[in-house]
Amino acid sequence: MVLVLSIGSIFLCPLVLYYIYLTKKLKDKNENVNDVEFFEQNAVDDSRRSIKLILLALNQDSISAVEACIRVSFLAKKASFSEEGLKVIKIFDEVAMKSSHIPILEHWDRLKKDKKVEFEAEIKGLESEYKSKLLKPSDDLLRLL
């Protein structure tokens, strides 16, 4: 009987220790759920910082108005803005929507030359139409950031 209890305890002790280990690990994992909020806030901060850099580049004519609008419109979805900020962003969304059919990146590279010329003319038209309209909203948005 003593022999059976000794052998049983030899097998039972590691199982109890493993159970305690898994319980602690599960508790730590549940505590890390709050870290998601930390990462989400970092994503919001990164988006706002990126928007600020894009708007500064736009004001210095280092980036085209269409490209700036596409980028700001995308990043604004990740950043949180007040109602006033959302009103300002509407013009950026408008330009992004008007240019959303234009291929980018590798899709642009695959276009034929005549299609590229056609899209470039459309981009220039959007640039001339919206460049001056974006100055005040850009400044307003910079002020809000």
Instruction: Provide the pLDDT confidence category of residue 1 given band limits of 50, 70 and 90.
Output: low
pLDDT at position 42, please? 78
Is a pLDDT exceeding 70 seen at residue 36? no
Question: Could you give the CA distance from residue 128 to residue 132 in angstroms, rounded to a whole number?
Answer: 8
Instruction: Provide the pLDDT confidence category of residue 126 given band limits of 50, 70 and 90.
Output: very high
The domain locations on the chain are 34-144
Mean pLDDT of the chain: 84
**51 and 72 Cβ atoms separated by less than 8 Å:** yes
The residue written with tokens 């300002």 in the block is: 88
Q: For residue range 83-97, what is the model confidence (pLDDT) as tens digits?
A: 888 888 999 999 999
pLDDT at position 15, please? 75
The mean pLDDT value for 23-36 works out to 69
User: What is the number of residues in the chain?
Assistant: 145
Helices (H), the chain: 2-31, 35-59, 65-76, 83-98, 105-109, 113-130, 135-144
Is a pLDDT exceeding 70 seen at residue 38? no
The mean pLDDT value for 77-86 works out to 84
